[in-house]
Structure 1
Amino acid sequence: MGSAIATRNPDTKAQPALGKTRRRRRRGGIAGIIFIANFAGIVILVLGSLLFNELRSGLTRARMDALRAQGSTIASVLAEAAIPADAVPVLDEARARAILRRLSREPGARLRLFSRDLRPIADSTILDDIVNVRELPPLGPAAPDITEVAGRAVSNVRVFMQGASDDPKKALIREVSTALQGNVVQSERFDEEGRRVVSVTVPIQRIRAVVGALTLESGDVSEIVEAERRALYPFIFSAILVTAISATLLAWSIAVPLRRLAAAADNVRRGRAQVLDADTLRKRPDEIGDLADALAAMTSSLQERIDANERFAADVAHEIKNPLAAIRNAAELLPRATSAESKTKLETIILNDARRVDRLVTDIANASRLDAELARASQQKFSIADMLDDLVRAYGSIGHARQVEVLVRYGDETDRLSVSGREEAISRILTNLLDNAMSFSPSPATISLSARRDGKLIRVEVADEGPGIPEEALQSIFNRFYTHRPTHAGEEGQAAFGKHSGLGLAIARQIAASHGGSIWAENRSDRSGARFILELPAA
């Protein structure tokens, strides 16, 4: 039978679709590790902040309640002892200062007394003759205290975020003004020195007349804040530890395997290995396993292509060497020809073998360009029925001269016989099959074409009435450069021997495989002849 096989090894099994079987058994993979690792530290910090913000709020409220109770007590004492029993209640400032000097107060609490016209009357720092002593920083450059610097930075941020840029004196006056209206004011603010304080301002009133306001401030809130920070340290350290562990885990699970894959790929590039040595990584049930699978499949495919090219080059050399040897022998015998008949015969041999070499070179060039052409060509949806109708019309005149009739029938509606692919390439398959059938058909004979839809596939058959194919050659005809012309193939079949390169069926199978289809041959059971079946995915 004339024509042959794809330039690839037909026994090579197609690589399974990567990821489809692997990803079904995956639950997260590296994406889940990255997500959990990056959010674990944040979750710890958020939980710690929420917990200890609530703790700080509770401590601050408790401090405010204590100051309010003390302030209410002092205000009651001043209302009884520092307001004369006059018709118009007025605060006796001297007596009020004396009373405040004798009263005991919580350590660290600052007490200030204001008149009704917002004038300061007394301040505990003056009444107690308190002298503020601060330690000066050492002379010369000193190593910065990281804890102090961090604390100062956090405090500055808090001041900015809570609007402490407002004048502390104005904030105090607003509190006193509100208290002079008979209301108790509680607040958390910053004093003139930028320290965080808890402040409670209570009105001093006799019956319903407000004669002044008493403000108590506690500056030990900074200690509460510092205690809060110390309580947050375990959470911060835990977050850092989790982040470090996650970074190590990511490096171990991603960076190290990628370096191993890179080293294995480099070994293939340098020729130290023919295939990717990544069997351990391919067993991983994650994206690294997918990548290792893809790289291994790619290198195996490249190696198969290299082997196929080597075999193809050897076959090409062999196929071209045979006609060249015949030409050489005929050329050497031509000068010694004794008759015109033998001379003409030798010249015919030279001419036929030269044409065969030309045909071989042309078909080999076409086969070598096939992969690139298939990669560049765009896929389109087209009708197989329309293509078969065009081929029947084209081969009708050719078959008429040899009394070979070309018929086509459809097992489904023609609008259901559509495929998506490269129309010119599919037409090339059918043209090769028709050329093959035409060369083997006796006179008269019929070549039958049929097309039908079989589930998700379009099935096209080309049947002839030739001598058929030997059972042992049903697969061999798809070997490159394979030609089989039996002696009973008829005059046309014998005349065609030597005119075929043996690449027609090879190219047909290669095109079918590139479209996700298949092609095979079988003998007809109802009569003599062969049948070629082409299956392509339906569009």
Structure 2
Amino acid sequence: MASATSIRATDVTRGAEAAEAPRAAFPKATRIKLAKPARLGGRFGGALLIGNTLGIILLTFGAMAISAYRDGLLTARVEMVERQAVLARAAVSGDALAACGGGSCLDDPIKATLVLGEATAGFDGRVSLFRSESGLPRFVAENVPKNDPSPAAVPIPDALPLTSMSGGVGETMTGWVEKVLFEWPLRGRITDMTIEDEVVAIFNGAPGSGKNLRYDPQGKLVASIAIPVVEGGATRGLVVAESQGIDVVSKRVRGALLPIIVLTLGLANFCALGLTAAVTHPLRQLAIAAEKVRASVGRAGQVELPDYDARRDDVGRLSRAFKAMTQALVDRIESIDSFAADVSHELKNPLTSIKSAIETVDKCKTDEQRARLMEVIALDVERMDRLISDISSASRLDAQLATETRHAISASKLVGDVAGSYRAVTDAGGPVVNFWDETDGKQGIFAAPAALGRVVRNLIDNAVSFSPGSGAVTVALEKAPGSGQSSLLVTVSDEGPGVPAENLESIFDRFYTSRPQGATFGSNSGLGLAIARQIVESHGGRIWCENLPPRDPDFDTSPAGARFHIELPVHTGGGF
């Protein structure tokens, strides 16, 4: 529900500055239009992501291909060992080929040795024959393995291209991956049982390990197959075939992996070098330019800046931001220079008046003339004091806004307290100050209370100074139309003469000089509204002025007064 408070206020004079003082540029707070947040990573991030992803994909598919290649080689090796074991069993069994003269070779070690040698010709591994005696294995014979590491009978494919690189540096680079990509994935197929333990287990009726890979006493990985020799329906012996050619498979896997490693490293280095060349050089040029700007800050506009604005990436964004920052610095320096000249002009006017009065006082013939000159001097001194105070306050405003603590506050309480403070200066002849709260009293803003309260007080002071003694000043708080729930609107309306239409925007300029007819000369520094706009904009809001429509346009087309608007974002986090 709307609430109203009526307050009588004294006449507070807030006119405009002297007509002869030119409108000057005070160093305004630099407003930087923030760029929209770039897409995550940007172009360089995307290129780096693509390069890394390609490397991962290459490694992944390479590992999958290597795994398939490794499994194929091992399967071929195991099948070859198994065929040799089957062939050897057929040769020594009395129920099969009867190569030992129609009887079993289990009882004749000499013949068994000869038969195994003929049956395993071309096999690079070892084939052993055991017979069972009371459930215990007894060695009978074995072949004599050849030492050729790459016999033609072994069905291992030719080496992949670049395999020759696996020597020397290649061995060092790829040796560590042997266990990672070869032995570790095979640990489920490697048994911990020795061949002797497995032979005993099979003779005792156990199925054995069921695995065909194990480590020999020298720590080398071998493929082994144990096949029982059945004669007369009973297991009388065991043929064990072992091949130590697994290291050949391992070397082939390592050799096949090397090209993938080389390609992956090459791709990663190419991406790194490409990104470095694309980023480091421009950044170095921008850094050099920044050093030049720092070293000659007074001539920052003369420094030649590298032009990367056309690039649609992070470097281009940085280049544009750097140019905007440098231009803001140049504008700030020029504004300060202009302000210094304008301040000198503003202070020179009362000083000139004082000097003229002092030079004239000796020529005065009456006390009345001297008193009038002293009054002029006093008014000019007061004017200088006001100018110096307002200029000093305005020059420190940026620092004050940057350091002043901001927190969530109730908009109703802030505006209501400022409007209510005019009870202390009630004057029977002053205008009435009304406060209307059109909100629920629970709307908050994130602000510096002192700074924002100063803005509201300044607008009320101006409204009081321009309103007739029998008039009214209306302060209202409401939700900004068309903003939903995101903004609040503070309005201060008076019943004064209004603002010339051509000056509705320029009244916010610093040292605004136009003043209404009848206003006290020199009673205002012309900085109040400029400071108000700077404070409001620092809070993410905006301030503007409009004239109220005429009360009776048929008889008088002059405005019924002026209304100032302050729009501020609503704070939704609570905490007030």
TM-score normalised by the shorter chain: which range applies? 0.7 to 0.9
Distance in 1, matches of 2:199 and 2:269, equals: 52
Whichever residue aligns with residue 566 of structure 2, its letter is L
Q: 2 CA distance for matches of 1:279 and 1:68? A: 74
Q: Give the secondary-structure state (helix, strand or coil) at the position aligned to 1:224.
A: helix
Residue 359 of structure 1 corresponds to which residue in structure 2? 386
Question: Which of residues 128, 134, 143 is equivalent to 1:124?
Answer: 143
Q: Deviation of residue 359 (structure 1)?
A: 1.7
> Secondary structure of 2:457's partner?
helix
TM-score, normalised by the number of residues in structure 2: 0.78
Distance 1:44 1:482 in 2: 70
Matched, 1:477 2:502: no
The residue that corresponds to 2:108 in the other structure is 92
Aligned runs of 1:94-493 on 2, under 5 Å?
94-116=110-132, 117-125=136-144, 145-150=168-173, 153-155=176-178, 161=184, 171-180=194-203, 181=205, 183=207, 186-271=211-296, 273-274=300-301, 281-396=308-423, 398=425, 400-410=427-437, 412-415=438-441, 418-453=444-479, 454=481, 455=483, 456-487=486-517, 489=518, 493=519
Q: Secondary structure at the match of 2:240?
A: strand
- Could you tell me whether the CA contact under 8 Å between 2:120 and 2:143 is conserved in 1? no
Instruction: Show the counterpart of 1:534.
Output: 566
**Deviations 1:234-272 (CA, angstroms, capped at 9, x unpaired):** 322321221122112321343333334323433432336
**21, 41, 53: which one pairs with 1:39?**
53
Partners in 2 of 1:176 and 1:245 — Cα distance? 56
Deviation at 1:305, TM superposition (A): 2.5
CA separation of 1:189 and 1:521: change in aligned 2, threshold 3 A: same
Change (3 A) 1:150 1:359: closer
Quote how far apart the aligned CAs of 1:429 are. Answer: 0.8
Alpha-carbon displacement from aligned partner over 1:43-84 (angstroms, at most 9, x marks no partner): 212211211211221221122112212212211322214899
Preserved CA contact (<8 Å) 1:520 1:532: yes
Cα distance in 2 for partners of 1:178, 1:529 equals: 111
Q: Alpha-carbon deviations, 1:388-418, whole Å to 9, x = none?
A: 33333322453534332112334x3342654
State the TM-score, normalized to the length of structure 1.
0.82
The CA deviation at 1:435 is 1.5
Name the CA distance, whole Å, in 1 between partners of 2:143 and 2:346.
114
SS of 2:522's equivalent in the other structure is: coil
Q: Indicate conservation of the 8 Å contact 2:92/2:105, yes or no.
A: no
Corresponding residue number in structure 1 for 2:555:
none
C-alpha contact (below 8 Å) 1:467/1:530 kept by paired residues: yes
- How has the CA–CA distance of structure 1 residues 310 and 48 changed in structure 2, closer, same or farther, with 3 Å as cutoff? same
Deviation per residue, 1:465-492 (Å, 9 max, x gap): 22333333333322212243333x3xxx
**2:15 corresponds to which letter in structure 1?**
G
In 1, Cα distance between equivalents of 2:499 and 2:73: 97
Any gaps of 5 or more consecutive residues in structure 2?
1-13, 18-22, 150-166, 551-558, 572-576
Alignment equivalent of 2:35, drawn from 18, 34, 45 = 18
Q: CA RMSD of the aligned region, Å? A: 3.7
Provide the rounded CA distance (Å) in 1 between the counterparts of 2:261 and 2:173: 14
Q: Which runs of 5+ in 1 are unaligned?
A: 134-143
Partner residue in 2 for 1:63:
77
Q: Is the 8 A contact 1:83 1:90 kept in 2?
A: no
The alignment-based identity, stated in percent, is 32
1:522 aligns with 2:522: no
Structure 1 residues 427 and 111, CA, compared in 2 at 3 Å: closer, same or farther? same
Q: Aligned to 1:451, what secondary structure does the other structure show?
A: strand
> How far apart are residue 227 of structure 1 and its match?
2.6
Cα drift, residue 514 of structure 1: 0.7
> What amino acid is the match of 1:258?
L
Distance 2:90 2:307 in 1: 83
Structure-2 change in CA distance of 1:169 and 1:29 (3 Å): closer
Residues 175 and 3 of structure 1: is their aligned pair in 2 closer, same or farther, counting only changes over 3 Å?
A: farther
Change over 3 Å in CA distance of 1:168–1:480 after alignment to 2: closer
The CA deviation string for residues 307-345 of structure 1, in whole angstroms up to 9 with x for no partner, is: 222222222222122222222332333344433222222
Opposite residue 244 of structure 2, the aligned amino acid is G
**Secondary structure, counterpart of 2:70 in structure 1:** helix
Pairing partner for 2:524 from 500, 512, 517: 500
Structure-2 residue corresponding to 1:137: none
In the aligned structure 1, how far is the partner of 2:433 from the partner of 2:473? Answer: 5
Letter of the structure 2 residue corresponding to residue 218 of structure 1: S
Contact 1:6–1:506, Cα closer than 8 Å, also in 2: no
**What is the match of residue 49 of structure 1?**
63
Q: Which structure: greater helix fraction?
A: 1
Distance 1:131 1:51, change over 3 A: closer
For 1:112-166, what per-residue CA distance to the aligned partner results, in whole angstroms no more than 9, with x for missing partners? 23343344443433xx7x6899xxxxxxxxxx932344565555777985899xx
- Counterpart of 1:406 in 2: which secondary structure? strand
Kept in 2, the 8 Å contact 1:327–1:353? The answer is yes
- Distance in 2 (CA, whole Å) between partners of 1:178 and 1:275 is 93
Report which stretch shifted further, 400-409 or 176-185. 176-185
CA displacement at 1:461 relative to structure 2: 2.1
Partner of 2:11: none
1:499-527 CA deviation, whole Å, 9 max, x = no partner? 32211111101011111222222333224
8 Å Cα contact 1:407-1:446 kept in structure 2: yes
3-state secondary structure, aligned to 2:512: coil
Question: In the TM superposition, what whole-angstrom CA distance separates every residue of 1:428-474 from its partner, at most 9, and x where no partner exists?
Answer: 11111122222223333222222322223322222222233333333
Q: Deviations over 1:246-299 (max 9, x none)?
A: 112321343333334323433432336439977854444444444344433333
**For the Cα contact (< 8 Å) 2:404–2:448, is it kept in 1?**
yes
Counterpart code for 1:511: I
